[in-house]
Amino acid sequence: MQLIDGKKISLEIQEQIAAEVKTLVATGHKQPHLAAILVGNDGGSETYVAAKIKACENVGFKSTLLRFAADTSEEKLLEAVVGLNNDSDVDGFIVQLPLPKHINEHKVTETILPQKDVDGFHPVNLGRMVLNLPSYISATPYGITKLLEAYNIETGGKNCVVIGRSHIVGSPMSILLAKNTKYGNCTVTLCHSKTKDLKSHTLNADIIVCALGIPEFLKADMVKEGAVVIDVGTTRVAAPETKSGFKLKGDVKFDEVAPKCSYITPVPGGVGPMTIASLLMNTLLAAKKEIYA
Ligand code: NAP
């Protein structure tokens, strides 16, 4: 069994980005600039946004954080999005999800200019990705393709099960794995809460991507020997013994599944750091105007 070290790969990507930023700036280009909008003070969102801002510092990007109270109106938030769309110094920006219930996430996402949508959530970017046109690819699935590439994991012709069909992880992941690319050419089964006899699918899978948000959902008896297991889940569970009072749990019962795997990602330190690396890669592409020339 080999552990897939997402933290290491993410840092390697960040080093490459930092070198490229130095060259860009030395040749008269402005510093790439990522902005983030954070609404409310959800602990998880605070942590993710802080990690993204820190990663910007690591690679030499400028970053801006716009904070809004949890009761901010949808109208005010949309105004901020339009403001960032029109700010020529900002190359790309994200609106950290989830948003409070009174705000329509789709409306917010669709208001972001596709050219600045470095999270890759806008329908134009999703559509372009499906059509093999240049696009920003959703950060988490993009990061997973980079992990598969980094570890030279053979995907062509393999049976792959993706569990979870969210718009930001499971669905785009299933499309990417089926594409005719180096990290694709899988035969993909997309499972969800209405899937019958999920175990019969996972037992037939060479690669399993777990993205459902139920801690330790995937057990050893659901996995065949030699499978590659990618754990996207990050659920906060209470852990009074830790400083923060919680621990991050993946969707995979790691201790019992890992011995059966050829490769497996840990939580934390697997997919999470790659999501950040992908966001930085997308922002660099935005700064270089490579996707929408
Ligand atoms: P989501 O929007 O909550 O969707 C969950 C998906 O799981 C749904 O499609 C749901 O099916 C499916 N599901 C729920 N229970 C199931 C069951 N018993 N059997 C099979 N499928 C089931 O999830 P998400 O936003 O993609 O997030 C999933 C997890 O990934 C969460 O833990 C989240 O925190 C984590 N995450 C991590 C990163 C990272 O960077 N590491 C990034 C994004 C998300 P239905 O569609 O039928 O309801």
Any catalytic annotation for residue 52? yes
The distance in angstroms from the start CA to the end CA of the chain is: 43
Any catalytic annotation for residue 243? no
Whether 44 has a pLDDT exceeding 90, the answer reads no
- 163 Cβ inside 6 Å of ligand 1: yes
Compute the radius of gyration of the chain from its Cα atoms. 19
Cis? peptide before 259, omega within 30° of 0: no
Q: Provide φ and ψ at 98, rounded to 5°.
A: -80, 160
Q: How far apart are CA 214 and CA 232, in angstroms?
A: 10
Counting from 1 in the atom list of ligand 1, the atom nearest the Cα of 274 is: 40
User: pLDDT tens, 189-222?
Assistant: 999 999 999 999 999 999 999 999 999 999 999 9
- 153 Cβ inside 6 Å of ligand 1: no
Nearest CA to ligand 1 atom 15: 193
Q: Which of 14, 52, 116, 206 is catalytic?
A: 52
Q: How far apart are CA 231 and CA 272, in angstroms?
A: 9
What's this model's pTM, rounded to 2 decimal places? 0.97
The H or E element spanning position 171 is: helix 170-178
User: pLDDT tens, 147-166?
Assistant: 999 999 999 999 999 999 99
Q: How far, in Å, is the centroid of ligand 1 from the Cα of 269?
A: 18
Q: How far, in Å, is the centroid of ligand 1 from the Cα of 240?
A: 25
CB 199 within 8 A of CB 221: yes
- State the average pLDDT over residues 271-277: 97
- 234 Cβ inside 6 Å of ligand 1: yes
Q: How far apart are CA 13 and CA 162, in angstroms?
A: 25
Give the pLDDT confidence score for residue 218 in this predicted structure. 98
**Mean of pLDDT over the chain:** 97
Q: How far apart are CA 242 and CA 238, in angstroms?
A: 9
Any catalytic annotation for residue 119? yes
User: pLDDT tens, 232-268?
Assistant: 999 999 999 998 889 999 999 999 999 999 999 999 9
Please name the residue that has the structure tokens 């809460």. 193
Work out the number of other CB atoms within 10 angstroms of the CB of residue 146.
Answer: 20
Give the pLDDT confidence score for residue 22 in this predicted structure. 97
Q: How far apart are CA 281 and CA 264, in angstroms?
A: 24
Q: How far apart are CA 155 and CA 227, in angstroms?
A: 11
Give the pLDDT confidence score for residue 43 in this predicted structure. 86
Give the pLDDT confidence score for residue 120 in this predicted structure. 97
Domains plus CATH for the chain? 28-113 (3.40.50.10860), 139-272 (3.40.50.720)
Q: How far, in Å, is the centroid of ligand 1 from the Cα of 171?
A: 10
Choice between 43 and 110, residue whose per-residue pLDDT is larger = 110
Nearest CA to ligand 1 atom 17: 193
